[in-house]
A and B are shown apart, each in its own frame.
Chain A
Amino acid sequence: EVQLVESGGGLVQPGGSLRLSCATSGFTFSSFAMTWVRQAPGKGLEWVSGISGSGNGMSYADSVKGRFTISRDNSKNTLFLQMNSLRAEDTAVYFCAKGGRAAAGPIYFDYWGQGTLVTVSS
């Protein structure tokens, strides 16, 4: 059974940092692209960042470029999102999601975690 479990969310002051983790199981982690998607309270889904199965290819939304860094540890089947210089507008539930096709880019996402809430406030 495929499982994705996010952790690391919480309350942080503006300008602060957080590192989110997404522990996975039930599939060959290194074969699939992974992504982070966020949802601000009462708002829609926003793609944040994606990374290839090998970790060599990655991309970011303009809204987080230069502040967030996506990475993965294929030996531990875990995805990460390092978030620096956090702003109030980064407040959201952050979901990790698995790419749907092996050895392909982020063309669709077939499994999602339950999300972890990040609140940026003083």
Chain B
Amino acid sequence: QSALTQPRSVSGSPGQSVTISCTGTSSDVGGYNYVSWFQQHPGKAPKLMIYDVSRRPSGVPDRFSGSKSGNTASLTISGLQAEDEADYYCCSYAGAYSVVFGGGTKLTVL
């Protein structure tokens, strides 16, 4: 049950695009198409942004997109806005009813 690997921080200017990677193993990210991404602002509960690798819940802007290749999933945020500044966590089903999160990435909008 090792945490998925994410960069500790990323940054971008308003209007730019950023991509956050999430690397796991064949037992989690690579083994299932059940990767999700959460956005968390300070002091708030996490908010689901992407599920099933690339699906967006209703209400999430289409600026947010997800993908996966092998054992690595990615979250791309295009057209960065100030309110996108937050912590982002990836999450993957890992079999046997278990789940694993990434360590989190702090997004700074410059």
Interface set of A (CB-CB < 8 Å, partner B): 33, 35, 37, 44-47, 50, 52, 57-59, 61-62, 95, 97, 100, 105-110, 112-115
Contacts and interface: CB of A to CB of B under 8 A. Distances in A.
A50 B45 contact: no
Instruction: List 6 A-B pairs, minimum CB-CB distance, nearest first.
Output: A59-B97, A44-B104, A108-B51, A108-B36, A112-B45, A107-B34
A108 B45 contact: no
B96 A113 contact: no
B36 A62 contact: no
Interface in B38-80: 38, 40, 45-48, 51-52, 57
15 contacts: A44-B101, A45-B101, A47-B91, A57-B97, A58-B97, A59-B96, A61-B1, A106-B98, A107-B32, A107-B36, A108-B52, A112-B46, A112-B47, A113-B45, A114-B45
Contacts of B12: none
Contact of A47 (B45, B52, B100): B100
A113 B104 CA distance: 19
Contacts, number: 73
Contacts of B47: 112
A98 to B, nearest CB: 10
A36 to B, nearest CB: 11
A95 B93 contact: no
B24 interface: no
A45 B38 contact: yes
A16 B50 CA distance: 38
Given A45-B38, A95-B46, A114-B45, A108 B101 contact: no
Nearest to A112: B45
Contacts of B32: 107
B30 interface: no
A50 B100 contact: no
A113 B44 CA distance: 10
